[in-house]
Chain A
């Protein structure tokens, strides 16, 4: 049987807000419940997968995302938002498995999804 798809859109960066961590918890719960999970990073959400983060007081958001990628979660970062913030494809700014693509891919994901959740303010 084909898995149901959950798409989570995250629009805020890590640490200042809890949205990234909530997204990770939701994704892990959805995987346990048999969902195919996709995460689309938009606006400041495109900071989340940056390499070499070293937070002193919070869980490392990139490492948490990496563990989700290993579980099969597709992660895409909006190219317009990423580029604006200095994350360009040629410099491999993100952890492995995170793709930098167009917001038009989000349109396709929404169409394919059974549930869509936005997290941000």
Chain B
């Protein structure tokens, strides 16, 4: 494959998927693959700024987004964001909000993309 897109649709901390999904993006980037993450549905919470995970002793997912950006993109699905009452200013700097058409354009522009839904 020439690129990878990891899709995360679950909120961080409630389950392991967001943390582990972001690690797959980091691993792909480490292998010189063009790799991005798409946060949608409850997955958009992974891009919320100023997360404080210390109280529950879990690793901070927000910090992982900075291990992806700028080499890879942290795409945040616009409609999922709006449905949850979140705005761009609520998100980490690395977040790039995209709508469905932009997502289609991004995927169309790439070839041989592995889609990993975590």
Interface of A with B (CB < 8 Å)? 9, 11, 42-43, 80-81, 102-108, 110-111, 113-116, 118, 120
Q: Is the interface of B mostly helix, strand, loop or mixed?
A: mixed
> Roughly how many angstroms separate A110 CA and B34 CA in the complex, as a whole number?
11
The 7 A-B residue pairs whose C-beta atoms are closest, nearest first, are A107-B27, A107-B31, A116-B114, A107-B28, A104-B27, A103-B27, A118-B116
What is the size category of the interface that chain B forms with chain A?
Answer: 20 to 34
Q: Is the CB of B17 within 8 A of A110?
A: no
Q: Is the CB of A118 within 8 A of B117?
A: yes
Shortest Cβ distance from residue A4 to the other chain B in the assembled complex, whole angstroms: 12
B49 part of interface (Cβ distance < 8 Å): no
Query: Which of A80, A81, A102, A111 touches B1 (beta carbons < 8 Å)?
Result: A111
CB neighbours (8 Å) of A42 from chain B are 20, 24
CB neighbours (8 Å) of A118 from chain B are 115-118
Q: Is the CB of B20 within 8 A of A113?
A: no
Q: Is the CB of B31 within 8 A of A116?
A: no
